[in-house]
Structure formats: C-alpha cells, structure tokens
Amino acid sequence: MSTPRSGSRRGGWTPWLYLAPALVVLGGLLVYPVYQLGLISFLEYTQAQVTGGEPTTFQGLGNYAELFGDGEFWRVLLATVLFAAACVLSTVTLGCALAVLLTRIRALPRLALMLAGLGAWATPAITGSTVFVFLFDPDFGPVNKVLVALGLTGFADYSWTYDRYSAFALVLLEVVWCSFPFVMVTVYAAIRAVPGEVLEAAALDGASQWRIWRSVLAPLLRPILVVVTIQSVIWDFKVFTQIYVMTNGGGIARQNLVLNVYAYQKAFASSQYSLGSAIGVVMLLILLVVTLGYLRLIRRQGEEL
C-alpha cells in the first residue's frame, strides 16, 4: 500500500509529464541556437572564417571588451531603453484608457472597437510598417496632405524619417498601434471581474471617473497592470521590423539604431558575426532578467489566489 508521501511525490511529476513534449520542442528550438550564439560571441568569426579562408580562433572576452569599449554601443543601448520605455508607457496608457472606454459604451460600438483593436493586433509587423510608411510619405502620404489642408503648411513635403526624433515618433506610433489591443483586452477583462458594487459605491460618493480609476480600479488591477507592463517591455525592447522597415535599416547616419538592428548590421552588413552575437547575448541577458521578474510575479500572484 502506497503512503501519502509517495502518492504526492508521483503527483508532483504529473505536470512535468504533460509539459515534456512542449519542453522537448522548445529545447530543440532554443537551446542549440542559444548555445551557438554564446559560442560565436567568444570566437573570432568574420566572413574570412565563414568561407574557411582563415582558422577560427578563441577570443575569450575580447569581443565583449571591444563591444563595451565602443561608444556607439552605449548610445544605441540608451536609445533602445528610452524608446522601449516610451513605447511601453504609451501602449499601457492607451490600452488602459480604451479598456475603461469599453465599459462605458454600448454593445455595438464596443464590438466595433474590439474588432478594430484585434485587427490591428493581428496585422503582421512588416505589413503595418509598410502602411505607416505610405501614410506618412512626404510626397504621396495622406497625413501630410491633411495637415497642409488644415493650414500647417510646414508639413508640405515633410519627411518624417529625416529627423531622428520624428522618425522614432513615427515608429512609436506603429508599435503602439499594433500593441495596445493586448493591453486593452486584458485590462478590460480584469475590469469586468471587479464587483460592480465597488464602482457604484465610489460613484455614489461623488468620485470622478479619474478618481475611480486612480483610487479604486488601479489598486485592484495592479497585478494585471504589472504583468502587461512587463510583457510590453519584453516586446518593445526587441523591436526590429518596425525600425528596419520604416527607417530603411536604422535611419540616416544610423541615427535610429536600436540593439536588434545594431546587432543585425554588425553581423550581416559588416560580417562581424562575433560582435553581432555578443550584442545578442547582452540582449538575451537583459530580457532574461525581465522574464525572471515576470515569472516571479506570476508565481506570487498564483500563491495569493
């Protein structure tokens, strides 16, 4: 007869047995590429080594020393952090605002807004980026024509991608456009789970909509807000397609580089595969820290429930 301890021990392995097929597939897709990425970052690996013209040599931390000694790397890292922070703040703010709006409108407008948001979310990044490039085209884009028609003649033939900050702002609009539906739907579902009596009591006390959000909803939704914020950080920190397509590979004089595009240019445009791999490892470590924080919050919320 089995003891309770042995039964619970067998039960503890049951979830892992269900997860085993997915873990095997993910391991095959992730472990080997990550291993190769880390290995190449410690080697001298350029086009000469790829073609077999020169032997591959072990560099140790030489590639990382060269990377950290390059002022452009720190400039790109700072630009990536600031750009990701602006994207996350804009995405979460817009998503929360629209989630609250969904609770205030009728069923038909709510359905239309939900479908529009999900359509934006389902649009591939390269498709959305191409659409935005057309909309803001200096010669044929309708945005400049509308602005000129409104009396803003300075936007006649204005190139949004010529200036560094306007180019980043344009990319930010596209990133927010395809990211806010996730926040909107998630926060809306969380708001619907809040007891209606709580909101009615706050309204009867004379609280404004902003005060209800700040003092009632935000504290109750804090776990969900933290989760969607961290998820947005992970997505926006590794933006590649939007920057590459909308700024033509990083902007004029590389003024709109972010880490993902910077790694691509080092690895494939300059054939410095070892430096590109080192940048990839740095990004992996940064996102690993964020992911571990995300998993810790998920676990903590599971314990609280």
Integer CA distances (angstroms), 171 to 50, 247, 280, 287, 291, in order: 34, 8, 22, 21, 24
The single-letter code of the amino acid at 237 is F
291/227 Cα distance (integer angstroms): 11
Residue 129 has pLDDT above 90, yes or no: yes
Residue 32 has pLDDT above 60, yes or no: yes
Q: What is the mean pLDDT of residues 100-129?
A: 92
8/54 Cα distance (integer angstroms): 58
116/124 Cα distance (integer angstroms): 15
Residue 296 has pLDDT above 60, yes or no: yes
Every domain of the chain and the residues it spans: 72-258
The larger pLDDT score, comparing residue 296 to residue 41, is at 41
The pLDDT confidence band at residue 57, using thresholds 50, 70 and 90, is confident
Q: What is the mean pLDDT of residues 45-49?
A: 84
Q: What is the mean pLDDT of residues 270-295?
A: 90
pLDDT tens string 162-203: 999 999 999 999 999 999 999 999 999 999 988 878 878 877
Report the CATH architecture of 72-258: Orthogonal Bundle (1.10)
64/57 Cα distance (integer angstroms): 15
pTM confidence score: 0.86
101/118 Cα distance (integer angstroms): 16
Q: What are phi and psi of 49, to 5 degrees?
A: -75, -35
Q: What is the predicted pLDDT for the residue at 281?
A: 95
pLDDT tens string 218-255: 888 888 888 899 889 989 999 999 999 999 999 998 99
Matching residue, tokens 């605002």: 97
Q: What is the mean pLDDT of residues 155-166?
A: 92
First CA to last CA distance, the chain: 34
